[in-house]
């Protein structure tokens, strides 16, 4: 979703300016067209050449450069931008913007642009807490400027406290949010992710292969598009998405309970979890000694959470997933009908680039009318948006 998006990154003069290099890299990697504007003091910390190399674009430092410019550059930049991000944003730049000062390239572009503006402050904790700085921030917030707050921790000035630039992935996520349509703002989206674990004893369990990436990507994408999101997930090693209600669970039974608790309130269910179909019939509260372990395990069927949700469908949109190794379409179609779904995401996990521990997937979307949409290999991040596009169309039909 960041591909070919035009982003202006303003870098101001703080020690965190070097972290902006990583931000440019991440944005460039995601395909964004990044145009960096540096203030004079930023250039005391990092050279324009660093940003030029990483962004592949000329870095702007001066307001007027009569040799290079034939157009009014600040207006051209301001008009072209789809989002303007200032990271790090010093107390000084925040104060200048709040006061309406436009005396260099960055503040002039801020004044001239109609693009949404995100500021990522980074400064000494006392500067951050200074009432003037906080008043400026409150004023800008009330005018529609977006902020990603600094984090608490050890600061470059030697102090401990709030003032460290937010983590780069969190800033990238906020930029994605800024650039996303808000077509899910009326929706309450319930997403499940990850595997379930069915314990045999406190150290042994049955599970499915699943990293949770697809469900987490869906939760983030729905949140960016304005939805209120609840994410119920089995064990995983992923960072919890921001501004999402996160409900960690372990077994299929716990996931079932959590889903049924939240379903009433949800307008969309995206069931990406790889629920374990079976569980051990007996679970021992103590670790079983090897000598007591049986070589044949007695199993019992877990509840089918999705099928149960399908029975309480009402006007909800319900999307299921089918991970298959053979007869992909036929199996997926049967599951769509049996579980009363609107859409099923069929996934041949034997294909390279599809399935479990990878960042990408190749899927086919099947709906109730029998229509099949084949999607090419893409990142789970992109797939999440494509899937939501499809859900949005189902909602309208």
Residues making contact with ligand CTP (CB under 6 A): 252, 271, 273, 275, 277, 302, 304-306, 320-323, 335
Whose Cβ is closer to ligand CTP: residue 18's or residue 356's?
356
Whose Cβ is closer to ligand CTP: residue 145's or residue 321's?
321
Whose Cβ is closer to ligand CTP: residue 122's or residue 343's?
343
Distance, CA of 99 to CA of 120 (rounded, Å): 18
Whose Cβ is closer to ligand CTP: residue 121's or residue 310's?
310
For 325-355, b/e burial (b = at least 16 CB within 10 A) is eeebeebbbebbeebbbbbbbbbbbeeeebb
Please report how close the Cβ of residue 260 comes to ligand CTP at its closest, in angstroms.
Answer: 11
Closest CA to 269 of 301, 337, 222: 222
Active-site residue list: 157
Distances (CA, A) of 37 to 106, 217, 274: 6, 31, 46
- In terms of DSSP H, where are the helices of 31-190? 48-55, 73-80, 91-99, 105-112, 125-129, 131-142, 168-179
Please report how close the Cβ of residue 339 comes to ligand CTP at its closest, in angstroms.
Answer: 6
- Burial zone of 396 (CB within 10 Å; 0-12 exposed, 13-18 middle, 19+ buried): exposed
Whose Cβ is closer to ligand CTP: residue 273's or residue 383's?
273
Closest CA to 252 of 327, 313, 337, 195: 195
Please report how close the Cβ of residue 277 comes to ligand CTP at its closest, in angstroms.
Answer: 5
- DSSP type of residue 155: -
Please report how close the Cβ of residue 249 comes to ligand CTP at its closest, in angstroms.
Answer: 13
Please report how close the Cβ of residue 117 comes to ligand CTP at its closest, in angstroms.
Answer: 40
Please report how close the Cβ of residue 341 comes to ligand CTP at its closest, in angstroms.
Answer: 8
Closest CA to 323 of 256, 275, 381, 374: 275
Question: CB–CB of 279/252 below 8 Å?
Answer: yes
**Angle formed at CA 197 by CA 195 and CA 202, multiple of 5 degrees:** 155
- DSSP type of residue 311: H
Peptide bond into 88 cis (omega under 30): yes
Tokens in use for 264?
Answer: 């009433």
Whose Cβ is closer to ligand CTP: residue 110's or residue 341's?
341
């Amino acid at each position: 979703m960041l591909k070919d998006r035009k982003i202006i990154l303003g870098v101001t003069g703080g020690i965190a300016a070097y972290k902006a290099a990583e931000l440019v890299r991440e944005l460039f990697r995601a395909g964004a067209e990044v145009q960096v504007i540096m203030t004079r003091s930023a250039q005391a910390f990092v050279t324009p050449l660093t940003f030029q190399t990483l962004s592949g674009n000329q870095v702007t430092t001066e307001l007027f450069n009569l040799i290079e410019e034939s157009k009014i550059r600040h207006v051209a930049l301001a008009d072209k931008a789809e989002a303007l991000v200032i990271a790090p944003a010093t107390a000084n730049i925040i104060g200048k913007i709040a006061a309406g000062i436009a005396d260099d390239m960055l503040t002039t572009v801020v004044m001239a642009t109609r693009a949404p503006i995100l500021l990522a402050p980074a400064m000494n904790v006392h500067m951050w807490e200074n009432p003037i700085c906080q008043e400026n921030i409150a004023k800008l917030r009330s005018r529609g400027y977006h902020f990603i707050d600094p984090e608490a921790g050890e600061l470059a000035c030697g102090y401990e406290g709030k003032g460290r630039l937010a983590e780069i992935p969190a800033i990238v996520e906020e930029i994605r949010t800024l650039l996303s349509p808000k077509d899910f703002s009326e929706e309450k989206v319930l997403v499940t992710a990850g595997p379930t674990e069915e314990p045999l004893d406190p150290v042994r369990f049955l599970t499915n292969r699943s990293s949770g990436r697809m469900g987490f990507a869906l939760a983030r994408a729905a949140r960016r598009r304005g939805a209120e999101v609840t994410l119920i997930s089995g064990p995983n090693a992923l960072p919890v998405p921001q501004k999402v209600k996160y409900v960690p669970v372990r077994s299929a039974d716990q996931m079932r309970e959590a889903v049924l608790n939240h379903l009433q309130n949800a307008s969309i269910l995206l069931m990406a979890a790889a629920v374990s179909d079976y569980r051990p019939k007996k679970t021992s509260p103590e670790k079983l000694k090897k000598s007591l372990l049986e070589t044949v395990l007695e199993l019992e069927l877990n509840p089918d959470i999705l099928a149960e949700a399908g029975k309480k469908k009402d006007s909800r949109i319900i999307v299921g997933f089918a991970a298959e190794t053979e007869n992909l379409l036929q199996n997926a179609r049967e599951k769509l009908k049996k579980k009363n779904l609107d859409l099923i995401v069929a996934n041949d996990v034997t294909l390279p680039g599809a399935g479990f521990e990878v960042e990408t997937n190749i899927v086919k979307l099947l709906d109730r009318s029998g229509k099949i949409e084949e999607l090419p290999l893409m990142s789970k991040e992109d797939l999440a948006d494509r899937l939501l596009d499809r859900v949005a169309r189902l909602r309208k039909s």
